Structure 1
Amino acid sequence: MYAVIKTGGKQYRVQEGDVLRVEKLDAENGKEVTFDDVLMVGEGSSMKTGGDVASATVTGVITESGRGQKIVVFKKRRRKNYRLTQGHRQSFTSVRIDSIKE
């Protein structure tokens, strides 16, 4: 069975045992986190969506928090002697999915 959850403005398809990187969550490593914004639950012909999944929850444990690889942003305007280099590292939280409850 799998579920589609929404967190950090993105949607993720998860199964029990999956480890996924989501946007930074305000919790410490080893803490349990519950995702209440479930969009779809089920498998095959037993899919539930909309109001049928209002009570569904997905729980997981935070395994890691950190920052991703650096992305270099380079801007240039030709013939104007304009060059701008910036860097960005996105914060993330790794979550191991433990259970999906309908």
Structure 2
Amino acid sequence: MFAVIKTGGKQYRVAANDVIKIDKLDGNAGDIVEFGQVLAFGEGDSATFGVPFVEGAMVTAEVLKQGRAATVIAFKKRRRQNSRRKRGQRQHETTVRIAEILTGGAKPSKQAKAAPQAATAVPLFTAPAGEPDDLVVIKGIGPVAAGQLKEQGITTFAQVAAFTDEDIARIDAAMPFSADQIKDWREQAKELAK
């Protein structure tokens, strides 16, 4: 049996045990999420269609992981103007495995886990003792980005200059900065740390 669900402004045709990538949902790996906007379900001639949604139908899924999609490049060029612009975008996404397709108001066999009580995030790095540097001096780091880096324990030029490729991969996965941006910051920080 299949179902058509709507989430994140998009429609997906799913069946039990399908693994799909959808727009980012709140939740950690192992959590159960419910999709109440079911447009259709069934098989062949016995398919049921909603107007717009089917009453009493629901699809449950298990969150497998949170991540980011591949970079999409937007390149614009105007002929004879010597003008070009290249931008990249990585969309946040959630990978889920469809667990059950429920109809007629049936209840799911697995319930969503309760939200953890005041979970504190562990910073990626340990901030060194002493006076922090003004990271806004590095081109590409603004006040907001500097605050985000400070929350992760990154406060000095020496720290940024000493980033390894593994550190850059960790920051890229946990924060909204690309690896290329961080490598550029590392080169600038090497000059500033002297």
Query: Scaled by the length of structure 1, what TM-score is found?
Result: 0.93
Note the residue ranges of structure 1 that are not aligned, 5 or more in a row: none
- 1:10 counterpart residue number: 10
Q: Which consecutive segments of 4 or more residues in structure 1 shift more than 6 A?
A: none
Cα deviation, 1:2-51, whole Å, max 9, x if unaligned, reads 10000011110100000000011111111100000000011122211125
Higher strand share: 1
Instruction: Give me the CA root mean square deviation.
Output: 1.3
Query: Which has the larger Rg?
Result: 2
For CA contacts below 8 A with separation 6 or more, give which structure has more relative contact order: 1
Higher helix share: 2
* Aligned pairs (5 A) from 1:1-102: 1-50=1-50, 53-102=54-103
Note the residue ranges of structure 2 that are not aligned, 5 or more in a row: 104-194
Distance in 1 (CA, whole Å) between partners of 2:84 and 2:44 is 53
Distance in 1 (CA, whole Å) between partners of 2:50 and 2:69 is 34
* SS of structure 1 residue aligned to 2:67: strand
| Equivalent residues of 2:38, 2:50 under 8 A apart | no
* Percent of residue pairs bearing the same amino acid type: 49
Distance in 2 (CA, whole Å) between partners of 1:56 and 1:46 is 15
Query: Scaled by the length of structure 2, what TM-score is found?
Result: 0.51
